[in-house]
Amino acid sequence: MTVRTRTAVVCAAAAAAALLAYYLVAWAQVSPLRERGTDFSASYVAAQLVRDGQGASLYDQRAEHARHLQQLPPGTVIDLPFITPPTSALLAMPFTLTDPGTAFRLWSLCQLALLALAIVIACRAAPWPRGMHSAVRWGAVALGLAGVATFSFLLLGQIDGVAALGLAAAYALWRRDRAGWAGFCLALGFAATKPHLAVGLAVFLVARRDWRAVAGAAMGAATAVAASLLTAGPAAFGGFVSSLIFALGNTPATSTVGTAGLAASWLGTGGGATALGLAGSLVALAGCAVLGARSAGRPMRLEAALAGALALSLVASPHVLAHDLVLLAPAFGWCLARAAAADGAAAAWPGQAAGRLLTGWVGL
């Protein structure tokens, strides 16, 4: 390992460690009241309903709100409806064995661990050049985990770690030419947690004309649907769709980071902003189709195409928030490997391509 590479790895590790330490200190200072009012608390309350045999009331906002208020001091005002699939309540059910505060702590740490595992899987499967020191890979893992989106992801107790793991597993399986299982993991990871973020990825799959992956994705989605039926019954589907519509009206568009949020930030609320946001989403979905078509049968293009489709899929979603950008962390890992391969094994790391990618990640 050259002096330049060693210096770069040490600097990357130090910066990542400092950021992660800051995130964890802020997370440790979350107040007991805030613990019971994080985004995770909505899943915790939903899991309690399922545990108590009230799965049919999963999307009954009055029942959910009443149960939520029981865990908060008298007079607390909160507006945090359950808007994720029934499977997210199922995933949260083991955590109902503890009090809300402890459950939040355990859940957020588990999600952080899943995100870290996803980045490790992506970096291990990625096409690093021969002779590249393993310290560079671990530096990439650290930088991916320390991305700025991890801060809000951790503090809010978000569920994106599950989707990130499904994404990373799908990439690793594609690298091994196991497209069917890749599609299964990709669809299951998103369908069980945040399906609205994966519309562009579905377009990407179809455009690739990799029918094994499409069939696997159909099975993954069907598995999530079956789990939802077992958790909350047939009424859950109508309730989930209604909750998504409610979320669009309940969440200010300017707080989102997709095309809808950008349009609302520029033009304010109104028909013009809505039309511009919709047009932007359609363009992003078209971009996913182009990336899928151009990567079909070309393994060398997998990293850039899948990362691009992921980014465009997030942009196209009308309800993508800053913490959802942690899903880009595994993609950063595999793209950094491809960039290092383009620079060549003989070049000191980071080379020109890897340096540009690192600059973009820091800027993000």
283: how many CB neighbours lie within 10 A of its CB?
Answer: 13
Cβ-proximal residues to 194 (8 Å cutoff; 6+ apart), any chain: 84, 159, 160, 163, 324
CA pseudo-torsion sign 37, 40, 45, 46: positive
Contacts (Cβ under 8 Å, ≥6 apart) of 140: 12, 119, 123, 332, 333, 336, 337
SS3 of the chain: the string is CCHHHHHHHHHHHHHHHHHHHHHHHHHHCCCHHHHCCCHHHHHHHHHHHHHCCCHHHCCCHHHHHHHHHCCCCCCCCCCCCCCCCHHHHHHHHHHHHCCHHHHHHHHHHHHHHHHHHHHHHHHHHCCCCCCCCHHHHHHHHHHHHCCCHHHHHHHHCCCHHHHHHHHHHHHHHHHCCCHHHHHHHHHHHHHCCCHHHHHHHHHHHHHHCCHHHHHHHHHHHHHHHHHHHHHHCCHHHHHHHHHHHHHHHHCCHHHCCCHHHHHHHHHCCCHHHHHHHHHHHHHHHHHHHHHHHHHCCCHHHHHHHHHHHHHHHHHHCCCCCHHHHHHHHHHHHHHHHHHHHHHCCCCCCCCHHHHHHHHHHHHC
- Residue 291's pLDDT is 98
Q: What per-residue confidence (pLDDT) applies to 346?
A: 65
**What predicted TM-score, i.e. pTM, was given to this entire model?**
0.94
Give residue 20's pLDDT: 98
Looking at the structure of the chain, the number of domains it has is 1
- Spatial neighbors of 112 by CB under 8 A, at least 6 apart, are 145, 150, 153, 154, 161
Q: CB neighbours of 85 closer than 8 A, spacing ≥ 6?
A: 191, 192, 193, 195, 224, 228, 240
Domain holding 90, by residue range, is 3-363
| Residues in Cβ contact with 178 at an 8 Å cutoff, skipping those fewer than 6 apart | none
The Cα–Cα gap between 11 and 156 comes to: 29
pLDDT tens-digit map of 193-212: 999 999 999 999 999 999 99
Q: How far apart are CA 165 and CA 94, in angstroms?
A: 19
* CA-CA-CA-CA dihedral for 223, 228, 233, 239, to nearest 10: -130
Are residues 35 and 101 in contact, defined by beta-carbon separation less than 8 angstroms?
Answer: yes
Residues of the chain with pLDDT below 50 are none
What is the model's pLDDT at position 79? 73
